[in-house]
Structure 1
Amino acid sequence: MGFIYENLVRPALFKMEPEQAHDRGRTALMTMGALPTLCKLVRRYNQVCEDKAVKLFGLEFPNRVGLAAGMDKDGEFPRAIEALGFGHAEVGTVTPEGQPGNPRPRLFRYPEQHSLINRMGFNNKGSEVMLQALSKNYPKGKRGIPVGVNIGKAKTTPLDQAVDDYVASFRTLADQADYFTINISSPNTAGLRDLQGATYLRELLQTIRHENLSHAKKLGRDPHPLLLKIAPDLTFKEIDEIVGVLLELDYDGIIATNTTIQRPEGFKSKETGGLSGGDFIRRRSNEVINYIYKSTEGKLPIIGVGGIDSVEAAGEKIDAGASMVQIYTGWVYRGPFFARELARALKSKGEDWI
């Protein structure tokens, strides 16, 4: 199936403008997700379940491969994601109100490097629309895989009011999220990465944690797992500061890493935005993962993201200290059944990669 995609389907898609191809794929996945019987049949072929469920953050995952945020921005097709072999889906990034994102063109391909550059700018329909989509199409309690909700700051919200955006989206989506990821690391919303600094970070994470605990107490249930997604462009000193706050506030995990604003030597493009996919981000995310794993002695669970376009690249993330992985750009280049390939490989390696 991978041969067919890479030699027939992908060339046709790559003749389209990148965001047009993304929209075509989104439409196909939404159509598939609206057909439960079809999803059930496809799932029988694709879903890989490890001998024992992967237990992390108090949740159970059938396998170690997830879909990173950015593909399903509005929670429109997680049922299709499950059918295609993923062990979890992260939807978003979502903001309290819908916003159009940055002007087009804002997505660019670099096939020789298996890379993308995007400056999408958190284009999404808003948290209320996501709530309706998840409630209708893939409601909590009737899922085969966990669904994480990735939340962010709106473009027009000042940094000193950013926490209000995160809390608003949390409140709206708390009943449909299996876990939340706080995204402070996208390079495509002006000032967002400043939230990774000491000036804003503690207040932001502390406020979200308080909201989470209050919501859980009110409903008489466990609080949601909370994760933080960080940039690969941080210094090790900055990573130390972030990890220290996460451990102090008892956060459940970290996602390493988002896209990078750096460029590898000889990279020709002058387009701005976050670079994903390829060896450059693969190596850097591995360094960050391994640093966090060693500095915390494995106490802070890590989801590894960045440059996974092969079984070997996924294995490197696990070797570096990640408990699970997420893919995005690799899925674009390797096709719809790539998650199944990775999940089967990680399962077959078993304790060798864990």
Structure 2
Amino acid sequence: MSTASSSSVHPRAVLLGAQAGAVVLPVCDHYSGVEARMRKSLALQAEMAEEFGACVFDVTLDCEDGAPVGGEAEHAALVTELALAAAPDMRVGVRVHPVDHPSFAGDVITIAGRAGHRLSHLMVPKVESVEDVRVAVEALEAAGAEALPLHVLIESPLAVHHAFEIAAHPRVQSLSFGLMDFVSAHGGAIPADGMGAKGQFTHPLVVRAKLEIASAAHAYGKVPSHCVVTEFSDVDAMRAAAKKAANEFGYTRMWSIHPSQIRPILEAFAPEEGQIQIATKIIAAAAAAAWAPVSIDGTLHDRASYRHFWQVLERAHATGRALPSEAHAWFASSSS
């Protein structure tokens, strides 16, 4: 019997009862709204899933920016068909219009009503308060999509103020930061470079918003998702921004708006090989000790540190990293 199976209790059951780390999602959320790009995104998702042995990024089909004015209903029907046609083990979400937009109700009826069972999530933009979340939940329930997780976009100073209340709602699974609208909402008080790859990490109001959203998400065991980098042709800028989001701002997921951004995000959010080896060693020892405290290389570990190192392994798996043989049993199936 392998060390990984020496305890009958799976690490998730022991270590993730606390809110921290309760939700694990792919670290990259890729957005597209034009039909040709949506189809290419879904094809790329399937190709990379075969390459990595797991679905390593979400595809979110976009109605808010993707639907032509006057063609919202037709676009909703299109994304519904695309979602239904995706392979069952692929993660596909949809961004609908804001709750106060005339097309919101139609989006939900068409998309969630027909494909809610197939979607990984529904993204609701421009959420200002928990009341907007309630409106979205009521619409989903009326459409028969009672179990569909909600992802929300925080895009204004008022929304940032309410971030903790929004994150506390049980249907909310992830909070995303909408950088462009956030900067625009300040009426010119934040300069344009606050939307850039560098300025968004230095302007105090933008930095404060990012930290508030990340903190609110972690407070309730939800996933904070970092905003886009519009300079998609600058791979170095993209990689640097992703590393800052992951290592300095507490984000565990990030948006992609161009296929070239997906791999840099996966690389930036993936643990290093040394971290994976150490995490495997500690979790294997903990499992062998029935999750009692253990001493490894002169350092005492208990469930508090076990939780951290298990999250390292979860993130390694979510980013398609190779795991040591001792860890294979923990990820043998999604139902483990």
With structure 1 as the length reference, what TM-score do the two structures score? 0.53
Indicate conservation of the 8 Å contact 1:94/1:127, yes or no: no
Q: Tell me the amino acid that sits aligned with residue 226 of structure 2.
A: G
Pair 1:68-2:31 in alignment = yes
In structure 1, the residue matched to 2:265 is 342
Count how many residue pairs are aligned between Structure 1 and Structure 2.
235
Structure 1: runs of 5+ lacking an equivalent: 1-51, 103-121, 185-194, 218-222, 268-274
Query: How many angstroms apart in 2 are the aligned matches of 1:56 and 1:151?
Result: 27
Asked if 1:171 corresponds to 2:113, the answer is yes
Higher relative contact order (CA 8 A, sep 6+): 2
**Aligned-residue offset at 1:281:** 3.8
Which residue of structure 1 aligns with residue 241 of structure 2? 313
Choose the corresponding residue for 1:150, options 95, 98, 108.
95
Aligned counterpart in structure 1 of residue 165 of structure 2, from 224, 234, 244: 244
| 1:310 match: secondary structure | helix
Are 1:205 and 2:133 matched, yes or no?
yes
Q: Is this contact kept in 2: 1:67–1:88, CA < 8 A?
A: yes
Equivalent position SS for 1:306: coil
Note if contact 1:93-1:124 (Cα within 8 Å) is conserved in structure 2.
Answer: no
SS of alignment partner, residue 206 of structure 1: helix
1:150 Cα deviation from its structure 2 partner: 0.7
Instruction: State the identity %.
Output: 9
Name which of 225, 229, 232 aligns with 2:153.
Answer: 229
Instruction: Verify the 8 A CA contact 1:153 1:166 in the aligned structure 2.
Output: no
Q: CA deviation at 1:342?
A: 3.1
Verify the 8 A CA contact 1:68 1:326 in the aligned structure 2.
Answer: yes
CA drift at 1:287: 3.4
How much has 1:314 moved relative to structure 2? 0.5
Q: Distance in 1 between matches of 2:207 and 2:43?
A: 29
Describe the SS at the equivalent of 1:88.
strand
Q: Distance in 1 between matches of 2:209 and 2:24?
A: 24
Matches of 1:56 and 1:126, distance apart in 2: 35
2:75 aligns with: 126
Q: CA deviation at 1:258?
A: 4.4
Q: 1:266 and 1:297, CA in 2 relative to 1: closer, same or farther beyond 3 A?
A: closer
Q: Quick check: 1:91 aligned with 2:20?
A: no
Give me the whole-angstrom Cα distance separating, in 1, the residues matched to 2:218 and 2:44: 33
Match of 1:278 among 197, 207, 226: 197
CA-to-aligned-CA distance 1:43-99 (integer Å, 9 cap, x gap) = xxxxxxxxx9xx9785653xx22313546698433333313685221111259xx95
Kindly report the root-mean-square deviation, in angstroms, between the aligned alpha carbons of the 2 structures.
4.1
Decide whether the 8 Å contact of 1:73 with 1:91 is kept in 2: no
Rounded to whole Å, the distance in 1 between the matches of 2:265 and 2:22 is: 22
Deviation at 1:149, TM superposition (A): 0.9
| Cα distance, 1:229–1:249 mapped onto 2, change above 3 Å | same
Which of these two proteins has the greater Rg computed from alpha carbons?
2
| AA aligned opposite 1:80 | A
Could you say what secondary structure the match of 2:118 adopts?
coil
Opposite residue 93 of structure 1, the aligned amino acid is C
1:256 CA drift (Å) = 0.9
Aligned to 2:84: 135
Q: Which runs of 5 or more residues in structure 2 are unaligned?
A: 1-11, 13-19, 50-55, 231-236, 276-308, 316-336
1-side partners of 2:84 and 2:163: how far apart? 33
C-alpha separation in 1, matches of 2:162 and 2:135: 18
Alpha carbons 2:83, 2:92 under 8 Å: kept? no
Partners of 1:124 and 1:281 lie apart in 2 by 35
2:252 to 319, 323, 339: 323
Relative to structure 1, the CA distance from residue 345 to residue 246 in structure 2 (aligned partners, 3 Å threshold; closer, same or farther) is closer
Matched with 1:181 is 123
Secondary structure of 2:219 counterpart: coil
CA contact (8 A) 1:278 1:307 kept: yes
Verify the 8 A CA contact 2:72 2:103 in the aligned structure 1: no
Distance (Å, rounded) in 2 between the aligned partners of 1:242 and 1:99: 28
1:24 corresponds to:
none
Corresponding residue of 1:48: none
CA change 1:276–1:177 in 2 (3 A) is: farther
CA offsets per residue over residues 235-280 of structure 1, 9 Å max, x none?
Answer: 2x5422243144145422211124232666487xxxxxxx965323
TM-score by length of 2: 0.55
- Distance in 2 separating the partners of 1:338 and 1:245: 28
SS at match of 2:124: strand
